[in-house]
């Protein structure tokens, strides 16, 4: 799957991922209305609105991009119905041949991590049968519990040729509270990054490891260092655009081969029609606004990389 | 809800929580067979087996205990059907007046943490209506992202009078990899514990904060220290029994009022019938074996506390 991600980035010339993190407030009136007319103002109605919104955006942008990153929390808040919309979204994106990064930030120990891994990336055994539940291609994972918490995910990834992005340095303002604390003179995130590199050696693709890292766009100096600590790990970069990360900041997250990083934008793409820049599309053409925002983001990132 | 937890612990005289972490391999043959006869060897069949298993155990032990802790990964691995069984289990336990600790170990930032908080502890808005999705009483949360990741959970907890248990020192062998690293001469877990105490001040119950901590039974010396660092935080203690933690090790997790900690056992209770000690019950009386295991655990913990 890491090889597929590399191939698709080269083919699209777009080292970007669209974050499918639908908030109801992003979804245009007419989409909400149609869903509520059919199912009422219910969890099912909310899930239908999310699904129709996602589908329209995926239809409008799938040929331009290698990957999507649905954030499961945005679905999980609507309970079972929301999670059905998550599953439909994952399945639909896979049908469109997109690489699906499940932004699930799970992490536990032993058999519990194994259960998450099986549920999101692998197959679960029921009697003599096996089933894939959510079936993403990559999942994001939290490292706080150490190797015990990661190993069961890596094991499933090896079986399924799937991958992980492990939280190293997150994009939020208070990420430094624990992640930046110095241990033997170096911040915790560097220690985590070293472990990511070591875990990744155990599951290599052609040029990159299946085990990648999350490093926020909002800390470019950190990105520069971590690129060197984990030369074979792909870096998933949140925080571009709406959170303040600029394309010029992101150059050092990439390797000389032009690969090694994939930059996420969520709100900036899926709710593009709400920005003044794309206001001419109007809410009725929200998906076209998203397509234009993807084109602009690709140009922005590639422009910076070519410099 | 922290007041209710304290009251129920006093009333039952049982500072314990039963971990509802069903693996299919724990579930007696006859329960699996009945479920598979009705639904086939499907995800639905697995979910039905889990639900029937849980229900029998809850029926057998609910009068003895203050709380249960379903581990969502064990349900999530079976996808939507598994999560329906999780929801049914939560609802059923609440009907039985048990405090429900959702062991979900979620954690993200800003609006994403807010979405998890709303989905597990609060109410989600759909148009003019609001709904509770999973509706646990407490949730476990991962602190790696810092205050940004915790604050939205605390906000929802304040609204709903619900609570959290934040991972501080986990029970697994490699928990020390990051958690034990020294920062200014003190391990990371102490720094996290200080934050838990500070976050907790913001949401106090009568004697204890709604914001508690997870500290593994397998590191009793750590428990002793952390009890002092977080005097007003309840400690959820995993790792007793199957993972090796002994009752005598746990005395210092409690305060002088006999409160302040709640000890979890999962496999040791729900799969008690598989232990030699309870073999006389047989798989057909698995729930009675669980009841006896609860009684034995209460005696074991209280015996140690009285010394």
The domain segmentation of chain A, as residue ranges, is: 2-306
Give tens-digit pLDDT for B17-57: 999 999 999 999 999 999 999 999 999 999 999 999 999 99
- Positive or negative CA dihedral for A57, A63, A65, A69? positive
The pLDDT value recorded for residue B241 is: 82
Q: Would you say residue A245 has pLDDT above 90?
A: no
Q: A77 and B116: CB-CB below 8 Å?
A: yes
Among A261, A250, A144, A146, which residue's Cα sits nearest to residue A198?
A146
Quick one: how far is CA B1 from the chain centroid?
Answer: 14
Band of the pLDDT at A64, cuts 50, 70, 90? very high
Quick one: how far is CA B247 from the chain centroid?
Answer: 18
Alpha carbon distances (Å) from A169 to A181, A236, B230: 12, 11, 27
- Positive or negative CA dihedral for A133, A71, A149, A108? negative
Residue of chain B nearest A189, judged by CA positions: B178
B167 and A144 Cβ atoms separated by less than 8 Å: yes
Q: Bridge-partner residues for A67, per DSSP?
A: A17, A99
Q: B144 and A146: CB-CB below 8 Å?
A: no
Q: Would you say residue A301 has pLDDT above 90?
A: yes
Residues from chain A contacting residue B79 (CB–CB below 8 Å): 87, 119, 124, 131, 133-134
The CATH code for residues B2-301 is 3.20.20.70
The pLDDT value recorded for residue B269 is: 97
CA distance A306 to chain B (A): 32
Which positions of A are catalytic? 105
Residues from chain A contacting residue B127 (CB–CB below 8 Å): 32, 36, 41, 45
The pLDDT value recorded for residue B244 is: 79
B268 and B244 Cβ atoms separated by less than 8 Å: no
Average pLDDT over residues B115-120: 98
Give tens-digit pLDDT for A22-48: 999 999 999 999 999 999 999 999 999
Q: Does domain A2-306 have CATH number 3.20.20.70?
A: yes
CA distance B195 to chain A (A): 10
Among B97, B61, B67, which residue's Cα sits nearest to residue B295?
B61
The pLDDT value recorded for residue B242 is: 74
Alpha carbon distances (Å) from A154 to A205, B76, B146: 13, 18, 26
CA distance A165 to chain B (A): 14
The pLDDT value recorded for residue A244 is: 79
Residues from chain B contacting residue A46 (CB–CB below 8 Å): 124, 126
Which positions of B are catalytic? 105
Which residues, 6+ apart, have CB-to-CB distance to B211 below 8 Å? B154, B157, B163, B164, B166, B196, B199, B200, B202, B203, B233
The pLDDT value recorded for residue A246 is: 87
Q: Which two tokens stand for residue B89?
A: 């289990």
Which residue out of B83, B108, B182 would a mutagenesis test of the A interface target, given it has the greatest number of A Cβ atoms within 10 Å? B108
Q: B181 and A178: CB-CB below 8 Å?
A: no
Give tens-digit pLDDT for B81-117: 999 999 999 999 999 999 999 999 999 998 999 999 9
Among B186, B195, B190, B119, which residue's Cα sits nearest to residue B151?
B195
What letter does residue B97 receive in the DSSP assignment?
A: T
Q: How many CB pairs under 8 A join A and B?
A: 216
Q: What is the ipTM of this complex?
A: 0.97
Residues from chain B contacting residue A179 (CB–CB below 8 Å): 144, 146
The pLDDT value recorded for residue A47 is: 98
3-class DSSP state of B291: helix
Share of chain B above pLDDT 70, in %: 100
Q: Write down the residue that tokens 């060197």 correspond to.
A: A228
Average pLDDT over residues A142-159: 97
A217 and A168 Cβ atoms separated by less than 8 Å: no
Q: A73 and B188: CB-CB below 8 Å?
A: no
DSSP code string of A166-230: EEEE-SSGGGHHHHT-EETTEEHHHHHHHHHHHHHHTSB-SSSBSEEEEE-TT-HHHHHHHHHHS
Give tens-digit pLDDT for B187-237: 999 999 999 999 999 999 999 999 999 999 999 999 999 999 999 999 999
Which residues, 6+ apart, have CB-to-CB distance to A2 below 8 Å? A163, A205, A206, A208, A209, A210, A212, A234
CA distance A74 to chain B (A): 6
What count of other Cβ atoms lies within 10 Å of the Cβ of residue A237?
A: 30
Residue of chain A nearest B192, judged by CA positions: A178
Q: Phi/psi at A261 (nearest 5 deg)?
A: -145, 155
Give the span between the Cα atoms of A77 and B195, in whole angstroms.
Answer: 26
Q: B142 and A146: CB-CB below 8 Å?
A: no
Band of the pLDDT at A242, cuts 50, 70, 90? confident
Q: Would you say residue A101 has pLDDT above 90?
A: yes
Which residue would you say has higher pLDDT here, B244 or A150?
A: A150
Give the span between the Cα atoms of B16 and B11, in whole angstroms.
Answer: 12
Give tens-digit pLDDT for B233-285: 999 999 998 777 789 999 999 999 999 999 999 999 999 999 999 999 999 99
Give tens-digit pLDDT for B140-160: 999 999 999 999 999 999 999
Among B285, B249, B253, B287, which residue's Cα sits nearest to residue B270?
B287
Band of the pLDDT at A141, cuts 50, 70, 90? very high
Residue of chain B nearest A133, judged by CA positions: B79
The pLDDT value recorded for residue A243 is: 76
């Amino acid at each position: 799957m890491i090889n597929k991600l590399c191939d698709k980035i080269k083919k699209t010339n777009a080292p970007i991922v669209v974050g499918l993190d639908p908030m109801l407030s992003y979804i245009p009136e007419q989409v909400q209305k149609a869903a509520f007319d059919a199912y009422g103002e219910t969890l099912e109605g909310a899930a239908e609105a999310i699904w129709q919104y996602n589908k329209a955006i995926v239809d409008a942008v799938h040929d331009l991009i290698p990957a999507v990153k649905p954030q499961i929390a945005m679905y999980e808040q609507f309970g079972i119905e929301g999670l059905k919309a998550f599953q439909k979204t994952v399945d639909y994106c896979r049908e469109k041949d997109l690489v699906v990064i499940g932004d699930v930030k799970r992490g536990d120990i032993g058999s519990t991590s194994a259960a998450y891994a099986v549920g999101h990336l692998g197959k679960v055994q029921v009697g003599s049968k096996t089933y894939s539940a959510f079936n993403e291609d990559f999942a994001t994972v939290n490292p706080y519990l150490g190797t015990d918490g990661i190993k069961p995910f890596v094991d499933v990834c090896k079986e399924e040729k799937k991958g992980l992005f492990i939280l190293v340095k997150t994009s939020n303002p208070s990420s430094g509270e624990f992640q930046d604390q110095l241990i033997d003179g170096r911040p915790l995130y560097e220690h985590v990054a070293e472990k990511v590199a070591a875990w990744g050696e155990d599951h290599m693709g052609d040029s990159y490891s299946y085990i990648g890292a999350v490093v926020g766009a909002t800390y470019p100096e950190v990105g520069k260092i971590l690129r060197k600590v984990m030369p074979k790990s792909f870096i998933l970069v949140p925080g571009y655009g709406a959170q303040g990360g600029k394309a010029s900041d992101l150059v050092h997250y990439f390797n000389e081969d032009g690969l090694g990083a994939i930059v996420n934008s969520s709100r900036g793409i899926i709710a593009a029609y709400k920005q003044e820049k794309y206001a001419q599309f109007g809410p009725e053409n929200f998906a076209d606004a998203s397509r234009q925002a993807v084109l602009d983001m690709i140009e922005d990132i590639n422009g910076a990389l070519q410099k």
